[in-house]
């Protein structure tokens, strides 16, 4: 079985795996030690998520952070920290991976949906619910719906569509 991974690398992010048919194969919140912004990535558990599935992974997509002005330096550093961790894990395990700007997966998967600055998160959540009604996007963390899970699932779908067997046959 080929698995396609999507990673929203923020501290509130998720890792989602889809099989070659686009069905959910796994979902994991980003492992954090501690709480909130003060917490830190649990590097061993992050690596375990990918390592445990490595023989089945066809491709990993890691969302590339977008820095919106004005952003505090510490906020920017935290976004790039998670990105670097997941990139290092994929490279260290010699897995094929792509760095995916949000605009790329949004353009491909949110066609016909509002993509304005304030609308894109709602559009992504609605699209994820359409594609995977069995996934729970309700709050499992105290600070809101699982936007990171929706984004990670859509990144995985973008990777599956871009690098999956269907595309190779064309």
What's the pLDDT tens digit per position in 130-154?
A: 999 988 887 665 555 688 999 999 9
Q: What is the dihedral of CA 36, 40, 43, 45, to 10 degrees?
A: -30
Cα maximum dimension of the chain: 47
How much is the pLDDT for 86? 97
Whole-number percent of the chain with pLDDT over 90: 66
What's the pLDDT tens digit per position in 68-105?
A: 656 555 556 677 899 999 999 999 999 999 999 999 99
How much is the pLDDT for 76? 60
Average pLDDT over the chain, rounded to whole? 87
Report whether pLDDT(170) > 50. no
What's the pLDDT tens digit per position in 41-68?
A: 999 999 999 999 999 999 999 999 876 6
Instruction: Report which of 109, 108, 105, 102 is spatially closest to residue 127, judged by C-alpha positions.
Output: 109
Q: What is the mean pLDDT of residues 104-110?
A: 95
Top-confidence residue, 139 or 124:
124
């Amino acid at each position: 079985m080929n698995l396609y991974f999507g990673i929203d690398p923020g501290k509130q992010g998720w890792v989602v795996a889809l099989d070659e048919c686009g069905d959910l194969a796994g979902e994991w919140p980003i492992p954090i030690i501690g709480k909130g912004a003060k917490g830190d990535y649990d590097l061993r558990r992050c690596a375990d998520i990918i390592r445990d599935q490595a023989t089945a992974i066809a491709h990993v997509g890691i969302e590339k952070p977008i820095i919106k002005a004005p952003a505090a330096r510490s906020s920017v550093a935290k976004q790039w920290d998670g990105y670097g961790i997941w990139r290092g894990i994929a490279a260290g395990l010699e897995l094929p991976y792509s760095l995916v700007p949000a605009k790329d997966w949004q353009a491909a998967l949110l066609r016909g949906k509002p993509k304005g600055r304030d609308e894109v998160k709602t559009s992504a959540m609605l699209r994820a619910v359409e594609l995977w009604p069995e996934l729970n996007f309700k709050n499992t963390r105290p600070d809101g719906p699982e936007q990171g899970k929706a984004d990670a699932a859509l990144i995985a779908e973008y990777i599956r569509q871009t690098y999956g067997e269907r595309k190779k046959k064309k």
